[in-house]
Amino acid sequence: MRNYFDEQLELLNVELIRMGSLCEDAIMGASRTLMGEEGFAKQVDDAEHEIDQKERDIENLCFKLLLKQQPVARDLRQVSAALRMISDMERIGDQASDIVENARYIQGNTYESNLHIRDMAEATMKMVTDSIDSFVKRDLELARKTMKEDDVVDELFNKVKTELIGLIGKDSSKGEMCLDLLMIAKYFERIGDHAVNLSEWVEFSVTGVHKHDGVEYE
């Protein structure tokens, strides 16, 4: 019985890694669409649909483990954390799709804000990758390091916001385009927040304590 459960936990890890990879594809595709590269909007759309399917598949796997195996302690936390994590990853896919939707209105501009937004995309991709790796490896140090990396994303978002406000001040006719750019930057900032959530659930799965409630679970 234990061997079967361990096999199912390993399958859970594999599926989470795959879902995380799809999130990376979606973020990268959104960033490259923003930079005016063709063909990546479809990649994001495909990735989003696959992410939605993965969420359902992993959810079903977790429920089967909970109902049939009735895990306790660390095993229960691992399955419970996975259920929470897939919700955040599904939202990452949605936000990548939202970025592509907004990017169609601003392709071709070369403002410095675009470079900062690209840096935000790279930072959030790394955060998602590291958070999933930390779950699979039960690496608490990596999870906590990933949480701190959100400060970089927030700093980049503030730079974008400041630059766009300045641009509108110089030329009010660019207001609508600046608003679209600001929304895109905000979507990347939210992706960073979701990556933090992922890492917090990793911390919970390892320690039994979630940052926002401070309660230790057996």
Q: What is the pLDDT of residues 55-71, one digit of tens each?
A: 999 999 999 999 988 88
Q: What is the CATH number of the domain that holds 90?
A: 1.20.58.220
Q: How confident is the model at residue 217 (pLDDT cuts 50, 70, 90)?
A: very low
Q: Do 111 and 181 touch, CB atoms closer than 8 A?
A: yes
Domain hosting 38: range is 2-207
Q: What average pLDDT does this structure show over 14-23?
A: 95
pLDDT score of 71: 83
CA atoms within 13 A on the CB side of 122: 7
CB neighbour list of residue 68: distance below 8 Å, 6 or more residues apart: none
Which is more confident, 146 or 109? 146
Whether 153 is covered by a domain: the verdict is yes
Total structural domains within the chain: 1
Whether 216 is covered by a domain: the verdict is no
pLDDT score of 39: 87
Whether 132 is covered by a domain: the verdict is yes
pLDDT above 90: residue 106 = no
Tokens 């399955």 sit on residue: 79
Return the percentage of the chain with pLDDT > 70, whole number: 92
Q: What is the pLDDT of residues 166-192, one digit of tens each?
A: 888 888 888 888 888 999 999 999 999
DSSP string, 153-165: HHHHHHHHHHHHH
pLDDT above 70: residue 216 = no
| 197 CB neighbour count, 10 Å cutoff | 21
Whether 83 is covered by a domain: the verdict is yes
